[in-house]
Amino acid sequence: MKVLEFFSGIGGMHFALKESGIDGEVLLAADINPVANEVYKNNFPKVTLLNRNIESLSPEYLNKVGADTILMSPPCQPFTRNGLKGDTKDPRTTAFLHILNILPRLEISNILIENVKGFETSVVRNLLVETLEKCNFSFQEFLLNPTEFGIPNSRLRYYCVAKKVPNTFEFNTGSLLHHLPKERQELPCFQIKNIIESDVNDEYFLPKKILLKYWKLLDICGLESRRSCCFTKAYGRYAEGTGSVFTNISENEYKEILISLEQSENECQTEKLLENLKLRYFTPLEISRLQSFPNSFNFPSTLTDRQKYMLLGNSINIKVVSELIKLLK
C-alpha cells in the first residue's frame, strides 16, 4: 500500500497499518492540529507531514505523490450530540467534503474511513456513498466496538472500507455490519490490570471536591475489570461521561464501599469512605494501551496531560482499524 493519511492526528492510522502486517508505506500525512503533528513527528520523523488545511491540496498535487490508498479519520464533532450535529453546516466537514469533491480525479484504489457512531445517519455519509458509487468503488460500512476484539474498552465507531472496481472484496458487500464479514472466534476481553502502570503519581487521584460532588456518576474499574467506558477529549476536566476511573482495591471491596456510601448519613463518614476507594484517573499511557497503541508510541516531553487526553480522545483504536486494513488487501 502507498498511503495518504488524512486527518493524521497522532498517527493512529499509521500504527494500524503497521499492526495489520500489510506491506505498506505512508507517503504523505496531513493535519491542521500543530500539537497532534508534534506527536506524529515524534513517532514517525521520516514521513512527509503537512501542517496545513487539507482543502488546499489539489488532485494534481496528490496524484504526484503516487499513493493508491487513503486512510482517514475526519473530525467527528459535526456528528455528535455535544457537537450539536451540525453535519454539512459545520465548517469542520469542509476538508472531508473537499476530499469527496476531488476523489473522481484521484488515482486511488483503496479507502478506509473512521468516524463516530452517528455518522452513518448523516447527510455527509450519504454524500460519501454517492461519491463512492459515482467513482465505481465497492464498499462496506461497519459499526464496530473494540470489545468484540478482546479489548476492554467501549468505543463504538463507524467504519467504511472501499476498493475501486475491478478490485473486489473476498466477501459480499451489503448493508451496515456490526461484525467482521468472516466467521471468527470472539475473544474475551483481557483484564484492566494488563495495562496499568506501577507507581502512579498522586496527581492522578481524584480531588476530594470532585469525589463529593460526582461519586455517584463515576464508572469505576478495578484490576480484574474486563470493561471500561469510552475516553473522550474532556477526560480529566469533566467527571460525567468522559471515561472510567480506576481503583487498585478488589472489586468486592469497592462494591462494599459503594453500598456503605449509599447508606452514609453524614459528610464526614462519606469523605472517609470516598478516601478508601482510592480512585484515580487512568494515565495517558494506560489509555493509549486501551486504544491498542504499541509500546513504541510516545508523546513529546513538552506536552501536558490535558493535551495528551485531548489527543487520545480524538484518536482511533489501532487493533480494530488494523483488522479492517486487512480487508483492503
The answer to whether 70 and 135 are in contact (CB under 8 A) is no
Residue 292 included in any domain: no
Is the domain of 40 the same as that of 120? Answer: yes
Q: Count the neighbouring beta carbons within 10 Å of the beta carbon of residue 223.
A: 15
Residue 85 included in any domain: yes
Is the domain of 203 the same as that of 99? Answer: no
Residue 287 included in any domain: no
Q: Which domain holds residue 278?
A: 198-282
Is the domain of 24 the same as that of 54? Answer: yes
Which position has the grid cell 495495562?
195
State the SS3 of the chain. CEEEEECCCCCHHHHHHHHHCCCCEEEEEECCCHHHHHHHHHHCCCCCEECCCHHHCCHHHHHHHCCCEEEECCCCHHHCCCCCCCHHHCHHHHHHHHHHHHHHHCCCCEEEEEEECCHHHCHHHHHHHHHHHHCCEEEEEEEECHHHHCCCCCCCEEEEEEEECCCCCCCCCCCCECCCCCCCCCCCCCCHHHHCCCCCCHHHECCHHHHHHHHHHCCEECCCCCCCCCCCCCECCECCCCCCEECCCCHHHHHHHHHHHHHCCCHHHHHHHHHHHCCEECCHHHHHHHCCCCCCCCCCCCCCHHHHHHHHHCCCCHHHHHHHHHHHC
Is the domain of 143 the same as that of 212? Answer: no
Residue 193 included in any domain: no
Is the domain of 32 the same as that of 66? Answer: yes
Is the domain of 154 the same as that of 224? Answer: no
The answer to whether 243 and 232 are in contact (CB under 8 A) is yes
Residue 117 included in any domain: yes
Is the domain of 38 the same as that of 133? Answer: yes
Is the domain of 72 the same as that of 215? Answer: no
Give the pLDDT score at 298: 97
Residues 6+ apart with CB under 8 A from 283: 197, 200, 204, 305
Which position has the grid cell 493512529?
12
Is the domain of 22 the same as that of 161? Answer: yes
Q: Over its length of 329 residues, how does the chain's per-residue pLDDT go in tens digits?
A: 999 999 999 999 999 999 999 999 999 999 999 999 999 999 999 999 999 999 999 999 999 999 999 999 998 877 776 655 667 677 778 999 999 999 999 999 999 999 999 999 988 999 999 999 999 999 999 999 999 999 999 999 999 999 999 999 999 999 999 999 976 677 899 999 999 999 999 999 999 999 999 999 999 999 999 999 999 999 999 988 999 999 999 999 999 999 999 998 888 999 999 999 999 999 999 999 999 999 999 999 999 999 999 999 999 999 999 999 999 98
**Whole-Å CA distances, 63 to 19, 27, 131, 212:** 26, 11, 18, 57
Cα angle at 10 between 117 and 74, to 5 degrees? Answer: 35
Amino acid of residue 180: L
Number of domains in the chain: 2
Give the pLDDT score at 273: 95
Residues with a catalytic annotation lie at 76
Residue 77 included in any domain: yes
CATH code: domain of residue 278: 3.90.120.10
CATH code: domain of residue 64: 3.40.50.150
Is the domain of 177 the same as that of 213? Answer: no
Give the pLDDT score at 83: 55
User: How far, in Å, CA of 326 to CA of 86, rounded?
Assistant: 33
Give the pLDDT score at 265: 85
The pair phi, psi for residue 119, each rounded to 5°, is -60, -35
Nearest by Cα to 144 from 328, 268, 322:
322
Is the domain of 11 the same as that of 147? Answer: yes
Residue 290 included in any domain: no
Residue 299 included in any domain: no
Is the domain of 100 the same as that of 233? Answer: no
Sort residue 313 into left (φ over 0), alpha (ψ -120 to 50) or beta. alpha
Give the pLDDT score at 272: 94
Q: Count the neighbouring beta carbons within 10 Å of the beta carbon of residue 3.
A: 25
